[in-house]
Amino acid sequence: MSQGVRRAGAGQGAAAAVHLLVTLSFLPSVVEAQVTGVLDDCLCDIDSIDNFNTYKIFPKIKKLQERDYFRYYKVNLKRPCPFWAEDGHCSIKDCHVEPCPEYLKMANNTKELEDCEQANKLGAINSTLSNQSKEAFIDWARYDDSRDHFCELDDERSPAAQYVDLLLNPERYTGYKGTSAWRVWNSIYEENCFKPRSVYRPLNPLAPSRGRFFLCLCLEKRVFYKLISGLHASINLHLCTNYLLEETWGKPSWGPNIKEFKRRFDPVETKGEGPRRLKNLYFLYLIELRALSKVAPYFERSIVDLYTGNAEEDADTKTLLLNIFQDTKSFPMHFDEKSMFAGDKKGAKSLKEEFRLHFKNISRIMDCVGCDKCRLWGKLQTQGLGTALKILFSEKEIQKLPENSPSKGFQLTRQEIVALLNAFGRLSTSIRDLQNFKILLQHSR
């Protein structure tokens, strides 16, 4: 080989290396480039949502979630799975950490045993409550009567239902994974999401190439799928943001995991599906934002108070909540829910009922989650979304609310109110976290 040919080859190799470095340097920004612009099925752009959430919503909703009325959520974590025998990997039945199955120890499977013990430890519920709080909960029981639910409601008077302090049980990585976790999400997508009949089973919720069938769906069915996909994306973002980075001397260190974020959302690693999932998160945010703006008249009545027994704090909490409602009303690009179920009355009524039953079934699947902490946040966010849908489909009843007496046409329980605002708070946090990941990805270049 001549010296000139060797030089040419070396020059081509260097040029290829430079091209590769330039290409790699731009990969992290692909997520940002694709998660932008106007959302489908509504006239709203992502940048407007980002700014609105960052400067108006997030600081206030975070403060609201710290108030006593909203930090305690009553939930039944012991209701059995109605669809299959619970055989989830390291499922947690009680608030304490249970030992791992003996078969793992007998099989001497060290890695699986370590994963199991970590999932048990991280997934356990912190059930610490003060005596003062327990006494207050008895007083709170005088609230709550509702109908037309979109979720399978827990019996709040059931001995199995308990108040959980959400601030002591943040949503984050628990190590819950494998067949059990996959089956829950697969059941939600496969059995409950509206989908064209040309899509055959099994339908993997993370599989690409759904888009070519998607346009065949009517608006209502597209909305339903996007809500579930957006909820899934939001939960995944929380896990990526509060990931167990390391554990030394029994003290865990939590923080954002860029590698995990890219695995779930990078367009290359997800074959283009990641940005679509994140756009569905924004769509879900808009739906719940619209519900909050619609339900404001319910809370603006003097008869409605956010009762905890502390009159001064209760008044401050309601003032903060009404302030948030005013902000939601000021958003200029709301989703128009009137475009849904707008066909002939008989067909629209049938589709609305199908919509409701599908969603109610999804709330029941949350009882099949094998990790207590995951089940807690899954049930809360599902009920929050169900309450938002109940609000959007009850506009006439809300308009007819009496000022100084309870309404038989539309009522929200304490559990629904707490779930609604905390679920929206989770979405607000997800959008804030997504902004942080974009910054981290830029710095990682």
Positions at the binding site for FAD = 172, 174, 185, 229, 232, 264
For residue 339, what are the contacts with CB-CB under 8 A and spacing of at least 6?
219
In this structure, are strands 251-255 and 72-76 parallel, antiparallel, or unpaired?
A: unpaired
Closest CA to 93 of 104, 83, 102, 101: 101
Q: Please provide the DSSP assignment of 235-277 as one string.
A: HHHHHHHSEEEEEETTEEEEE--HHHHHHHH-TTTTTTHHHHH
Annotated binding site: which residue ranges?
A: 172, 174, 185, 229, 232, 264
| Amino acid, res. 412 | L
What element of type H or E holds 162? Answer: strand 161-165
Count Cβ atoms below 10 Å from residue 218 Cβ, excluding itself: 11
390: its two tokens: 């109940």
Contact 39, 290 (CB under 8 A): no
Count, residues in the chain? 445
Count Cβ atoms below 10 Å from residue 282 Cβ, excluding itself: 24
Distance, in Å, from the CA atom of 445 to the CA atom of 442, rounded to the nearest integer, reads 6
Distance, in Å, from the CA atom of 220 to the CA atom of 229, rounded to the nearest integer, reads 14
State how far the alpha carbon of 219 is from the alpha carbons of 56, 195, 360, in Å.
30, 12, 20
Contact 315, 302 (CB under 8 A): no
| Amino acid, res. 180 | S
- Three-state DSSP class for 74? strand
Catalytic residue numbers, as ranges = 371, 374
Distance, in Å, from the CA atom of 360 to the CA atom of 374, rounded to the nearest integer, reads 18
What element of type H or E holds 75? Answer: strand 72-76
